[in-house]
Amino acid sequence: MKTVFEFSKGMLPEETTYCPGCTHGISHRLIMEVLEEKGLLGETIGVAPIGCSIMAHHYMNVDMCESTHGRAPAIATGIRRVQPDKIIFTYQGDGDLASIGTGEIVHAAHRGEKFTTFFINNAIYGMTGGQMAPTSLIGQKTTTTIDGRKQEVSGKPIRMAELLATIDGAVFVERVSLHSPANVRKAKKAIQKAIEVQEKRLGFSFVEILSTCPTNWGYNPVKALEWLKDNMIPYYPLGNLKCPGEVK
Q: Which residues bind other proteins (CB under 8 A)?
A: 1-7, 9, 11, 13, 15-16, 18-26, 29, 41-45, 47, 54, 57, 60-68, 71, 74-83, 86, 103-104, 107, 111, 180-181, 184-185, 214, 220-222, 225
Rounded-to-integer distance, Cα 200 and Cα 230, Å: 36
Q: Which residues on adjacent β-strands are paired with residue 239?
A: 175
In angstroms, give the least distance from the CB of 168 to other proteins: 16
Chain CA centroid to CA 107, Å: 18
CB of 14 to other proteins, least distance (A): 8
Instruction: Give whichever of 115 and 132 is closer to other proteins, judged by the CB atom.
Output: 115
Nearest residue (CB) to other proteins, 58 versus 141: 58
Distance of closest approach, residue 5 Cβ to other proteins, in angstroms? 4
| Residue placing its CB nearer to other proteins in the complex, 40 or 233 | 40
β-sheet bridge partners, residue 44: 87
Decide: 13 and 51 in contact? Cβ < 8 Å. Answer: no
Nearer to other proteins, 42 or 139 (CB): 42
Smallest Cα–Cα separation from 23: which of 44, 52, 49? 52
- Is residue 169 within 8 Å of residue 204, measured between CB atoms? yes
3 vs 248 by CB, closer to other proteins: 3
Distance between CA 131 and CA 112 in Å, rounded?
32
Measure the N-to-C terminal CA separation of the chain; round to a whole number of Å.
34
Measured from the CB atom, the residue of 35 and 173 that comes closer to other proteins is 35
Measured from the CB atom, the residue of 23 and 142 that comes closer to other proteins is: 23
Residue 239 C-beta: closest distance to other proteins, Å: 20
The minimum distance between CB 222 and other proteins, in angstroms, equals 4
Decide if 104 contacts 75 (C-beta within 8 A): no
Burial 59-83 (b: 16+ CB within 10 A, else e): bbbbbbeebebbbbbbbbbebbeee
Q: How far is the CB of 146 from other proteins (least distance, A)?
A: 27
Q: Which residues pair with 89 in a beta bridge?
A: 46, 116
Kindly state the smallest distance separating residue 39's Cβ from other proteins, in Å: 9
Residue 162, judged by CB atoms within 10 A of its CB (0-12, 13-18, 19+), counts as middle
